[in-house]
Amino acid sequence: MSENNNERDERLNGRKNDELRPIKITRDYLKWPEGSVLIEMGETKVIVTASVENSVPRFLRDSGKGWITAEYDMLPRATDRRRNRDRTRKIPGRSMEIQRLIGRGIRAAVDIDNLGEITIKIDADVIQADGGTRCASITGAFVAVYDALQMAVKKELIPSMPKYKILSAISVGIIKDVPKLDLCYIEDSNAEVDMNVIMDEDNKLVEVQGTSEGKNFSRAELNQLLDLAEKGNRELINYIKNLLAI
């Protein structure tokens, strides 16, 4: 990555191109869920809850295995224009894709094969959107699920904390031929290449979603984006380690 990519440039908030937005995760944000957080990444704010149910889907009954699933939605005024509430219960395609991504990501973080027959249901509700909502949801979901698992141990729903890998997710993109980390909405909407990367604490990739939004990109540019994502995810994972004191 060129030296210029580390300089402060035309980004609206004055960040370097390889700099995360300010992050804050507030644990135990709600009273009733086993795990709940408010995650703030810049102006993006998501409430994520993790609820523990003492049962599993039919296909896992009597298997000794657990399950983790997710739902994702936005409040009507999470964006600059009001969106109608979903009264038909038909999940929009984008929300379906994101909630599947959250579920896959967190299942990759937790040893569900030895979890015991419980289900953790994640609800990610965007209360303010300014880019990176799916990534914030995944990062927040890990913390909410960690707290929910601790509560499940306390309630003797499971005998002990299962094995896990801390993970996080971050967006990267190319704008005017320059790779940038953690895109806000204006940057994301003008990106020539857009990518979301989930990684675990061992720097292993969990999932990569990348697409051209106006120009094809080279293998070298892909490597630059993955390097940026690795840097951002390492910083997020370090934040989580400090937050959870683990």
Evaluate whether residue 85 is within a structural domain.
no
Evaluate whether residue 7 is within a structural domain.
no
In order along its 246 residues, the chain shows pLDDT tens digits of 333 444 444 577 789 999 999 999 999 999 999 999 999 999 999 999 999 999 998 898 888 899 999 999 988 788 788 877 765 556 677 888 999 999 999 999 999 999 999 999 999 999 999 999 999 999 999 999 999 999 999 999 999 999 999 999 999 999 999 999 999 999 999 999 999 999 999 999 999 999 998 889 999 999 999 999 999 999 999 999 999 999
Evaluate whether residue 5 is within a structural domain.
no
Q: Which helix (H) or strand (E) holds 134?
A: helix 133-154
CA–CA dist 35, 48 (Å, integer): 8
| Measured CA distances, 71 to 97, 101, 119, 232 (Å) | 10, 10, 13, 25
Evaluate whether residue 10 is within a structural domain.
no
Counted domains in the chain: 1
Evaluate whether residue 3 is within a structural domain.
no
CA–CA dist 182, 20 (Å, integer): 6
CA-nearest of 149, 168, 169, 167 to 159 is 149
CA-nearest of 51, 29, 53 to 39 is 29
Evaluate whether residue 157 is within a structural domain.
yes
Give residue 181's domain range: 15-79+93-244
Q: What is the pTM of this model?
A: 0.91
Evaluate whether residue 84 is within a structural domain.
no
Q: Please give the structure tokens belonging to residue 69.
A: 């699933």
Q: Please give the structure tokens belonging to residue 93.
A: 């395609």
Evaluate whether residue 147 is within a structural domain.
yes
Q: Residue 119 is part of a domain; what is its CATH number?
A: 3.30.230.70
